[in-house]
Amino acid sequence: MVSTLTRPGRKLATRLLLLQLCVVLATAILMVTTINVDWGISALIGGGIFVIANAAFALCAFLFSGARAAKLIVASFFGGEVLKILLTVVLFSVVYLYAEVELVPLKLAYLLVLGINILAPVLFINNNK
């Protein structure tokens, strides 16, 4: 029964991650076809950073469920948020130090997926009537 409490949230998180991944791939393909391969790879990396960090947060956020685990739920939620921020910083640092990327598509794809992260849950929730 406890896992049934988190099923709708997990389903929403999975749909959101799949939507973000599809948008990242579409953006990268669009950049490859319209500009060049370097822009496509940079867009893929930038959007991928957000999707990876968001997936790590989603895994942490849904580790526990039920009223008896309230403290664990809060701790895993905040721990997941800290992990998401740290992963984002580390992945951007690694990309800036070791990869030769175009900064405009890298940041543009990251911001695009961030915007989807803000707007998509509203569309998903209103769509379930």
Same domain flag for 1 and 45:
yes
- pLDDT at res. 42: 94
| 21: Cβ contacts below 8 Å, ≥ 6 apart | 51
With a cut of 60, say whether residue 61 has pLDDT above it.
yes
Same domain flag for 49 and 93:
no
Q: What is the pTM for the complete model shown?
A: 0.83
Task: Please indicate whether residue 60 or residue 7 has the higher confidence score (pLDDT).
Answer: 60
- pLDDT at res. 5: 61
Mean pLDDT score of the chain, rounded to an integer? Answer: 85
Q: Rounded CA gap, 44 and 35, in Å?
A: 14
Contact 31, 39 (CB under 8 A): yes
- pLDDT at res. 118: 83
Mean pLDDT (whole number) for 24-48: 93
Same domain flag for 4 and 49:
yes
Q: How many CB atoms lie within 10 A of CB 13?
A: 19
| 55: Cβ contacts below 8 Å, ≥ 6 apart | 17
Range of the domain at 112: 69-128
